[in-house]
Structure 1
Amino acid sequence: MGHAGRAGKTSPSARDSTPRPRRYFQLLHRSIDTAEALEAKPMLVRRLRRRRDAGRAETSRRHAS
């Protein structure tokens, strides 16, 4: 017999502490610009910066057309 528990459900407090996608990326972009992030994970930070900058360049190209 199956269990009728709360398996797979997220508690309201966990949902409230998870940032929305826009806020998540704002925090991510701010954090990868810090010296601490670059010192801790240089390859990851450089990759994330390249992806962010490429996305910004693409957005600028689209809006310029």
Structure 2
Amino acid sequence: MGNRLFQEARQAVEVAKYANGNDVAGLVDKAKNAISSAYANTTIAEQQQLAELQKELDELQTH
């Protein structure tokens, strides 16, 4: 089944990556919150994936 918070964080990042217009900033914030919530309850491998997702969000904010 997997870690629900981890899955939600991944989904939130995907939504933010493909969003258009003014919603992007809010969706990035929501995804960052989801990553933060998931981090404490994940394995080391999942934490590494979350760190990569965080980098993707950071890149979205700089563009």
By relative contact order (CA 8 Å, sep 6+), the higher-ranking structure is 2
TM-score bin (small chain): 0.3 to 0.5
Structure with the higher fraction of residues in helix conformation: 2
TM-score by length of 2: 0.38
- When Rg is computed on C-alpha atoms for both structures, the one with the higher figure is 1
TM-score by length of 1: 0.37
